[in-house]
Amino acid sequence: MTSSWLVWPGALATNACCGSFAAAPVEDRKFLGYRLHADGRLTIAPKSLDRLKDRLRKIIRRNRSVPLARMIEEVNPLIAGWVNYFRFADASASLRSLDQWLRRKLRCVRLKHCKLPRTIAAFLWKRGVHEGDACRLATSGKGWWRLACTPQAHKAMPIQWFRELGLHSFVDHFDRGQRDRKPPRYGTVCQVV
């Protein structure tokens, strides 16, 4: 039986089927949740974003009988820790889309907590939506996810409403971290011969 491992003098043993160490294009290389681009920028790897959304989905399930304020309390430490981990990435755009996705998910949960069209209309009307628009939305027959993206839902539950409930923002945490972050100090550089 022949060995499929290659051993080079002074190097690690590698599997012959793997080929070279850097076979993938630079954009396809992920390391510790980061993605390295050809120009040297670091961004968040798509798989990391997917894993975060999966974790958030477990906390913010529509059929979970937990008040919205409690869900927000559970989400906030996750937001802070996640943004702190990816503070070196160029991530403003992806964090902005995560914020939008999270708020839509929470709007969806809040509307689902109302259950009946009558209580959905009453909630929207109480939050400042015109009575006719609130009734039309409540009886529209759209699914919860689509209801959460309507102009009436945005008017009833704007970004300021989520801030009042205590929801932290990915972008705000990231911007605060970028502003407070000191540039790394490298010291003296020695030329390698």
Read off the pLDDT band of 15 (50, 70, 90). low
The answer to whether residue 125 sits within a structural domain is yes
pLDDT tens string 138-185: 999 999 999 999 999 999 999 999 999 999 999 998 888 777 665 554
Alpha-helical regions (H) of 15-116: 46-59, 68-85, 92-114
Q: Is residue 155 part of a domain?
A: yes
Q: What is the pLDDT of residue 18?
A: 52
In a domain, 64, yes or no: yes
Q: Which amino acid type is present at position 111?
A: L
Considering the domain boundaries, does residue 71 fall inside one?
A: yes
- 145 Cβ neighbours under 8 A, 6+ residues apart: 104, 108
Q: What is the pLDDT of residue 33?
A: 86
How many domains are contained in the chain? Answer: 1
pLDDT at 4: 53
> How far apart are the C-alpha atoms of 108 and 114, rounded to whole Å?
10
Question: Domain of 134?
Answer: 46-179
pLDDT tens for 41-86 read 888 999 999 999 999 999 999 888 899 999 999 999 999 999 999 9
Q: Is residue 26 part of a domain?
A: no
d(C-alpha 71, C-alpha 107), whole Å: 12
